[in-house]
Amino acid sequence: MASDRYDVVILGGGSAGYVAAIRAAQLGFKTALIERHKLGGTCLHYGCIPTKAFLESAHVYHQLQERERFGVTADNVGYDYQKIMAFKNGVVDKNWKGVQFLMKKNKIDVVYGEGVAESPSRVWVKTEDGEVAVEGNNLLVATGSRPRTFGLPIDGRQIYTSDHAVSLDAMPKSLIILGGGVISVEFASYYHAFGVEVTIVEILPTLIPLMDAELGSELGKIFSRQKMRVLVDTTADLQSIEGGESGVRLQVTPKGKEPQTLEAERLLVAVGREAVTDGLDGLGFEMDRGYIRIGDNQRTNVPNVFAIGDVTGGYGLAHEAYAEGILAVETLAGVNKFDRVDLTRVPQPVFSLPQVASIGLREADARDRGHELETGKFPFSANSKAPILNETQGWIKVIGDKQTGDVLGVHMIGPNVTEFIAEAALARFLEGTPWELAYNIHPHPTLSEALGEAAHAAEGAAIHM
């Protein structure tokens, strides 16, 4: 290994890293991928895949609770936590084996161990067999992110993060979730579906605060109707957290109200993520709020060094990381079609119950930028497929620019919206208009019709409302 020299060395085998490795190999680059744990990274082992497996179990269980609406009868409907975990593990393992196969198929050298970048051309890796040097002409840093903990007493069981949540020994009876972002609302839906008493504490005025404000407000209302306790505009006193045999206590102060003490069996800390920059000190990166600063084509300030994925900030989404990895290696090959991954073209899916999905500008941001807007909204209660699924909550909002006609943003909350946000993403990619979304013929009866109807509404001509 020490005598080999690679065209591309990639530090980190998560979503950004392994996809970059595959594309590099396809382009003819001799490629090495360094991974300290398991290929697939956070998304595959702690995030996207296991949590969506959990949520699918939760959705099936919820539908069974409503079985009589569908004319279905069944006795003794319940759940087996260990089998839920086994289902999740099976899904993760299948995907993990798939990634390992892709490394072999594409003849990528995978080096397992902790990597420390000595220079742009050399990474030392502590493997089970000792330390080896991996040398290359170009370095891609894809070291990812980890949960923020703010120094809280995380024990991995009673007070834990999303990393621990995918392998807990039992379902809690009650839970406080600190933070109201994407990770929070997904776990809130999962736990609530199985009867856990859930309380969410968020310091900002709405849930999922980085998305369109109407989405967060609507999701909070739906969660409250589902009998979750949603505390937004609420400050948590982190120093007040206490754990013990009787559970966890946390003092919070809702805006304009007196402090109160929350109690639950367990506490999930979901207050965002931070970049993993261990082993990178010797490279001298310019940083931006704890993330590696990048310019065009994912280049850093260090020659021949690129940064991709969560370590650069952005939305922290796997599909964003895929795109960044592909961009970096296609830049090296001189075949890139873009200079940047445009975040306004990155779909943001949230797999809560109900689901949320978004792309493009938030309505408030579009107005702040001086756009004259045409907006249309269509509720799922007026859609033909939603009552068939017994899921009629939510709506789709389309935002267009009156002057240019461009689709500026599309925001959805409701059943299966994470699947058909892709149509809105294509509209953004092709610089489409609300008129084109409206007159694209949608199949009937489907949920996707609601997107066409919302676009019709933006044009001032909603049909079924």
Active site residues: 444
According to DSSP, the residues that pair with 358 across neighbouring strands are 348, 411
Question: Measured between alpha carbons, how far is 386 from 445 in angstroms, rounded to an integer?
Answer: 9
Token pair belonging to 379: 């509720």
**CA proximity to 35, closest of 14, 4, 15, 8:** 14
Question: Measured between alpha carbons, how far is 183 from 147 in angstroms, rounded to an integer?
Answer: 10
**DSSP annotation of 40:** T
Question: Measured between alpha carbons, how far is 189 from 52 in angstroms, rounded to an integer?
Answer: 11
Question: Measured between alpha carbons, how far is 190 from 187 in angstroms, rounded to an integer?
Answer: 5
Question: Measured between alpha carbons, how far is 161 from 157 in angstroms, rounded to an integer?
Answer: 9
Contacts of 231 (CB under 8 A, 6+ apart): 199, 200, 201, 202, 252, 254
Contact 214, 227 (CB under 8 A): no
How many CB atoms are closer than 10 A to CB 123?
26
Contacts of 78 (CB under 8 A, 6+ apart): none
Output Rg (C-alpha) for the chain, integer angstroms: 23
Token pair belonging to 384: 């033909």
